Chains A and B, each alone.
Chain A
Amino acid sequence: MLTLSPRLFRTSTFRLSLLYVLIFGVSMIAVLGFVYFATVNNMIRITDESIQREMDDLQTEYHRGSARRLQSVIQARLKDDQVGGWVYLLVDNAYRPILGNVPDWPVEATEAGHWLRFTVPRGAHQYTMRALSAALPNGQLLLVGMDIRPAEKFTSTMIQAALWGAALTMALGIFGGYLMSRNMLRRLDVFNRSAERIMRGNLAHRMPVVGSGDEFDRLAETLNSMLQEIERLVASIRAVTTNLAHDLRSPLTRIKSRLELVLTGRGDAEQLRHEIDYTIRESDQLLATFNALLSIAEAEGGAARANMKELDLFEVAEDVADLYRPMAEDKGLDLELHGEGGAVVTAHRQLLLQALLNLVDNAVKYTEAGRVTIAVAHDAGGASITVADTGPGIAVVDRVRVLEQFVRLDPARTTRGNGLGLSLVAAIARLHGAELVLDGEGGLEVKLVFKV
């Protein structure tokens, strides 16, 4: 269906095709013009040469014999019906016709030896002639000419053809542009409608991929992967918010009920003290959750980059190992530190300490028997620090998810902790441009790789 909406003519495709039609039309006219002039010139030249040759022939006849011989030759040519488009006229010095197939000496032939153009009425038509005149030694004048109507007809046909061609090109171009624009608009409209649906909140909606593999398909695919990432981020923000609300509601409820209990004044001083003490510890936990979130935000914000210095990973590892060794020993675990100094990286000391402390704390907390190993290694390509344990480990399928905020692998959320530890480590790793690798079989191995 052809609908002419003004929107269509505003499309860039339509404007472009219009421009192309214009450029194409102009260049076509230029080419045809050139062909026209070249052809016409050539035809005139050929005609002129024929006329000149005929004139030369006749004059030769004259010189070879006499005026009489010339007349008989002309007579013979006139009698010959294959004269075709030729005209001959021989006049005396008073311009009175002696012989020829033109009634009168044309007024245009004023001077002998010149080219001229004149028209002769023949039947109902006017014939256009090109001719050459010459003065003979006996005072007579000779005119030899040729009908150039076919040539003129040819040129006018050509001009017509050129104009029609140009008109058709324009029409087709505009029509083609219209069709292309309509097609383009249709596909863009699909995109616009999809985008509107997404904006209305349907984040799962995707741009249609036709399967033609053209630029629209590629655009759709790019947009779709962007949408997927956005959907993932929104989902993770939503999950964080939900988890935060969930994690805060229970302790806040407990705090409230305990305080209400205290307000009633029942129980002895020691009991009240205990309740209040418990409440304080619970609010400390809440604050700790917020502090952890703030730390993650700080690491993600990147402002800490200004305070990075060169430091030795091994010294950081020593500090953390030193802090945790007694705790590990109390649990019957070996805390081993492998490596040597010289693993120099540019890092924020406190944040890096915090990341490593989180890893070692987790390792010691979740490992019941065996050992926790901190290993520092470095080579020309960079440095790394690895914390490995002989605990339960993390299933391969959970290894990405566990880096997200508030993810605890214990669905009942009964174990201590706020599920932010590894997300903080991940954020700190990102801040340092370090790679965080979760690995290990029959235990967990977390590796922070700093590349030079």
Chain B
Amino acid sequence: MPKVLIIEDDPELAANLTAGLKDAGYTVVHAADGESGLASAQKETFDAMIVDRMLPKCDGLSVISTLRGKGNNTPVLILSALDQVDDRVTGLRAGGDDYLPKPYALSELLARLEALLRRKASGSAETKLRAGDLEMDLLTRTVTRGGKEIDLQPREFTLLEYLIRHADQVVTRTMLLEGVWDFHFDPQTNVIDVHISRLRQKIDKGFPHAMLQTVRGAGYMIKAS
């Protein structure tokens, strides 16, 4: 069971978040200010941390840079009410691994948290990716499913690569826009859905098991089995 440290001063938000994470199977430790958060992070080992930017006593970015300065590389998801492109940059520069503006959807947060934990787990440079009977060769840039070759456009290839790297976890539309297109804002459009349905046409058509699934209200998921 992954263990997560939440440093968040708003009691209601913290309670909701704790409940949501516990439901999703995480062990949660909560700290209500920067100092106690820093202390907990140094006392115990966590799989990931969720840190609010604006905290009493010691702000979130200082907490992160202090930990990074001491060689602590626990993945950090920064939460912030400052929903602006440039704040994201400063947050990531301070050592955060991902950035989520408030207000956020719990599903978005869970998807991103899982992605962070996965990144920590894999990390090595692979040349082949596999999900169920779907295989990707990153060197020859070929995709096969059940031995049958699938012809993909370059962008479709990147999209599928992102989805397979996050196989069996929910990937949100904004995660795709960031990870595949490098668009760091919410464009308020369903343009991603069209790309997904095209990709779905190519990888699922003619196969009994639909791998690329829509998760209602959250995003998409490649189901390996």
Interface residues of A (CB under 8 A from B): 277, 280-281, 284, 287-288, 291-292, 294-295, 298, 303-304, 306-307, 319, 322-324, 326-327, 330, 348, 350-351, 353-354, 357-358, 361
Contacts and interface: CB of A to CB of B under 8 A. Distances in A.
A288 B186 contact: yes
A307 B89 contact: yes
Nearest to A297: B84
Contacts of A277: 216-217
Contacts of B217: 277, 280-281
B86 A307 contact: yes
Contacts of A284: 105
Given A288-B188, A307-B89, A327 B194 contact: yes
Contacts of A319: 181-183
B121 interface: no
Nearest to A295: B185
B187 A361 contact: yes
Given A298-B84, A304-B85, A306-B86, A350 B198 contact: no
A248 to B, nearest CB: 15
Nearest to A307: B86
Contacts of B118: none
B120 interface: no
Contacts of B149: none
Interface of chain B, main secondary structure: loop
B127 interface: no
B185 A350 contact: yes
Contacts of B216: 277
A281 B190 CA distance: 13
Nearest to B180: A323
A331 to B, nearest CB: 9
Given A361-B187, A361-B191, A294 B181 contact: no
22 contacts: A281-B217, A288-B186, A291-B83, A292-B188, A295-B84, A295-B185, A298-B85, A303-B86, A307-B89, A322-B181, A323-B191, A326-B198, A327-B191, A348-B85, A350-B184, A350-B185, A351-B85, A353-B185, A354-B183, A354-B185, A354-B187, A357-B183
Nearest to A306: B86
Contacts of A287: 103
Nearest to B82: A294
The 10 closest A-B pairs by CB, nearest first: A327-B194, A326-B194, A350-B85, A288-B188, A298-B84, A350-B184, A361-B189, A357-B187, A354-B185, A327-B191
Contacts of A303: 86
Contacts of A351: 85
A351 B183 CA distance: 9
A304 B83 CA distance: 13
B95 to A, nearest CB: 19
B128 interface: no
B184 A291 contact: no
Contacts of A292: 188
A324 B84 CA distance: 24
Contacts of B105: 280, 284
B155 interface: yes
A353 B183 contact: yes
A350 B99 CA distance: 16
B119 interface: no
Contacts of A291: 83, 186, 188
A326 B197 CA distance: 10
A2 B48 CA distance: 86
Contacts of B194: 326-327, 330
Contacts of A281: 217
Contacts of A307: 85-86, 89
A294 B183 contact: no
A330 B182 CA distance: 23
A319 to B, nearest CB: 6
B196 to A, nearest CB: 10
A291 B86 CA distance: 14
B195 interface: yes
B161 to A, nearest CB: 16
A288 B89 CA distance: 21
B85 A322 contact: no
A324 B191 contact: yes
A282 B83 CA distance: 20
A326 B183 contact: no
A330 B195 CA distance: 10
Contacts of B85: 298, 304, 307, 348, 350-351
Contacts of B155: 322
B9 to A, nearest CB: 22
Task: With a 10 A CB-CB cut-off, give which of B84, B181, B216 has the most chain A CB atoms.
Answer: B84
A351 B88 CA distance: 13
Interface string B186-225: 1111010011001000000000000000001100000000
Contacts of B195: 323, 326
B187 A304 contact: no
Contacts of A350: 85, 183-185
Contacts of A357: 183, 187, 189
A277 B188 CA distance: 18
A294 B81 CA distance: 11
A356 to B, nearest CB: 10
Contacts of A361: 187, 189, 191
Contacts of B89: 307
A351 to B, nearest CB: 7
